[in-house]
Chains A and B, each alone.
Chain A
Amino acid sequence: MTAAAASTASTRRAGTLAVTTAATERALRTVFRSPALWISPLAQSLFFLLIYSGQLSNVGTGYLDGQAFIAFLLPLILLTGVATGAGAAGTLTSNDLTSGYLDRLRMAHGTVTPFLTGTVLATLVAVTVQALLTIGGAMIAGYRPNAWTGTLGMLAVMLILGVSVALCSVAVAVRTSSSSSTGLVTLGFFGLSFFTGVFAPVDELSGWMRAIATVNPLTYIIEAARQIESGSALTAGPVAALILTTLVAAGFACCGLALDHARRNR
C-alpha cells in the first residue's frame, strides 16, 4: 500500500458539525487562556456599573418614575460589555490568520467556515459568562430583577447584538488581517452606545443629543432591553427586532464579502 493510498484510507471528509464543535472548544480554550480577552470587558462593565450607579442614582430617581436607576443603566452596561467582549472574535481570527494557523486548518478541512463559526460561538459563550457576572455584580450593587425572565430576555437581546459585533469583527479580521483594525468594530458599537439615552430616557434629552439618539439604532435596542427587563409595554420591540435582524444580516454579509475577497485574492 502506497503512502498516498494509506493517507486516503486513513482520512475522510470531516463532518462540518464535528469540526465546528471541536473548533468551538478550541476557541473557548483560547479565550479562557487569554485573560485579557475576557477580564478586560468584565472589568470595564463592572467599573461603569459602579461609577454610574454610585454617582447618578440620585439624579435618576427624578425622571425614572420609581424605577431603580441601576436597572435602567444595566442594558447599556451590558451593551458596552458585549461590544468589547464580542470583538474578541476578530482578535482571535486575526491571530490565527497572521500566524498562518487558519491557512493550515483551511488546508486540512477545505474551508474556514467551521473555524470562524467556532470562534464566534466561543466568543458568545464568553460574553454570556461576562454578562452573567456583570448582572451578579449589579445585584451586589443593589439591582433586583423585576422578573428573571425579563433579565434573561434583556441578556438575549444583547447576545443577538453580540452576534453582529462578532461577525463584523471577524469580517474585518479576514479583510485586513489586523487585530488593531478589528478594534474599530468595538469602537464603533461602543461609541454609538453613548449616543443613546445613556443616563435618561430619550424623551428627557434635548437638542443635538436627542436628534442623534433618535436616529441611533442602538437607542431602540437599549430601549427594548429596558422594556423587557422592567416588564413594561414593548413599544420599541418591532423597531429593535428589525434593527437586530438587519445588524446580524449585515454581519453575515460582511463575512461573506470578506471571505469572497480572500478567496479571489488567493
Chain B
Amino acid sequence: MVNDISVCVAGLTKRYGERTVLDDVSLEIRRGGRTVVLGPNGAGKSTLLEIVSTLRTPTAGSVVVEGHDVVADARAARRLIGLAPQSNALDPLATPLEVLEFQGVVLGLGKRAARRRSGELVELFGLGERQDTRIAKLSGGTRRKVDLAVALVGKPSLIVLDEPTTGLDPLARIGFWAELKRLSSEGGPRTLLISTQDLHEAEVLATDIVVLREGGVVAHDSPDALKSRVGARILTLTLDTPESTHDLLDAAGAGFVAEPDQPTTVRLALPGDPAVLRAALDDIGAAASSVEELRLTGPSLDDVFAALATPTTPLEKEPA
C-alpha cells in the first residue's frame, strides 16, 4: 500500500567516473519500521544512505521520501530526514546544548523554540549532566547520543543512521539500541534506516533487512523470512583433522560447505526436504570415525549474510 511506504527507491544508480557504486537499486521502505542495510565493505550502503539523505545526487533513478523526490524536491525532503552520519559529525569544541540549539536555528526554529527543543532532547537522552561539557571531552556513547539528538531536532519522520554504534563499547551499544527502539515506537510512526556491518546489531534492531552486494540488492525481507530462506536449521560438524574435513567435503552428497577460517568445521543449511537430511546422515556416517562434534542450530543473520552477500547469490530486483 502506497501509504505504508516511507522511502521509495526506484532504479537508483550511482557512478563515480567508471566505477558503479549502486546499480539499478529498487526498494520500498516501510513507514514505522527499522530497516537495516547490510553488506560487505564497498557494497554501496553509505552511498545509498547519503542519496536518501539528499547529500549525494543519483546518476540515474529516483528516491522519494514521504512523497518528496530527494532531487527535485530536496528542500521538502530534507525537513523530514534526520541524519546521524558514520562518524560523529559534530563540532567537538561546542557543548551538546550549543550544538542542539545551533541545529534548531539552522532548521528554522526561532532561538527560543530551538532552546526549548534542545532542552527536550537533553532530557530525552539523559544528557543533563553533560549538557555544558565540550563534545570532545564526552565518551563515545554520550557523543553518539548527542549525534542522535541532533538528528531529532527537526522532529524528522525518517532517521538515517550510518553505522551508528561503530566504536562503542558493548554496554554503550546495548543502551544505544534501546534508545533506537524507543524512538521508533514513540511519538507516531517514525522510520529508521540503518546501515551496519554488525550482524548482531541487525539481529537486535531490524524489522526489515536489505542485503546489498556490489551495488545491488541481493535480498530484502524480514529477518525471519531471510533466515528461513537460508534454511530451517544449520548442521555444523567438527572433524578431527583438516584432511578428514577435505575428504568429507570431497565425498559429501548433501552439500556441506567449509566454514571460513575454521579448517576442521563444515556446515550445511538444512531445508525442509528430507532427502537432504538423509544424504547428510549418510555423509556423517561415512565420516563417523572422524567426527568430534555435531550441532544443530537455527540459522542466524551470520548465515544469511554468508549465504547472500557472497558473489554466488544472484541479485534481486524489486518492483519499483
Contacts and interface: CB of A to CB of B under 8 A. Distances in A.
Interface of A: 1-4, 6-8, 10-15, 18-19, 22-23, 26, 29-30, 33-34, 96, 99-101, 103-110, 266
Interface on chain B toward A: helix, strand, loop, or mixed SS? Answer: loop
Contacts of A106: 55
Interface stretch (B153-161, B237-245, B281-289): B153-161
B279 interface: no
B90 A22 contact: no
Contacts, number: 103
Nearest to A8: B79
Interface string B71-90: 00011101111010111111
B94 A26 contact: yes
B75 A266 contact: no
B78 A10 contact: no
Interface stretch (B35-43, B97-105, B248-256): B97-105
Interface stretch (B185-193, B221-229, B268-276): B185-193
Nearest to A19: B106
Interface string B47-65: 0000001111100000000
A105 B83 CA distance: 10
A127 to B, nearest CB: 19
Contacts of B109: 10-11
A4 B154 CA distance: 10
19 contacts: A7-B80, A10-B155, A11-B154, A14-B107, A14-B108, A15-B108, A19-B105, A22-B102, A26-B91, A30-B93, A33-B134, A99-B89, A100-B87, A107-B54, A108-B78, A108-B106, A110-B74, A266-B56, A266-B57
Contact of B94 (A19, A29, A104, A105): A29
Contact of B89 (A23, A29, A103, A266): A103
B150 interface: yes
Interface in B21-52: none
A98 to B, nearest CB: 9
Nearest to B86: A100
A7 B90 contact: no
A34 B53 CA distance: 31
Given A29-B98, A108-B78, A2 B189 contact: yes
B66 interface: yes
With a 10 A CB-CB cut-off, give which of B91, B102, B103 has the most chain A CB atoms. Answer: B91
A19 B83 CA distance: 19
Given A19-B105, A100-B86, A7 B91 contact: no
Given A22-B105, A29-B98, A110-B74, A104 B89 contact: yes
Given A19-B105, A104-B85, A107-B78, A2 B93 contact: no
A33 B94 CA distance: 9
B252 to A, nearest CB: 49
A13 B89 contact: no
Contact of A4 (B66, B78, B91, B187): B66
A39 to B, nearest CB: 15
Contact of B106 (A6, A103, A105): A105
Contact of A108 (B76, B90, B154): B154
B105 A18 contact: yes
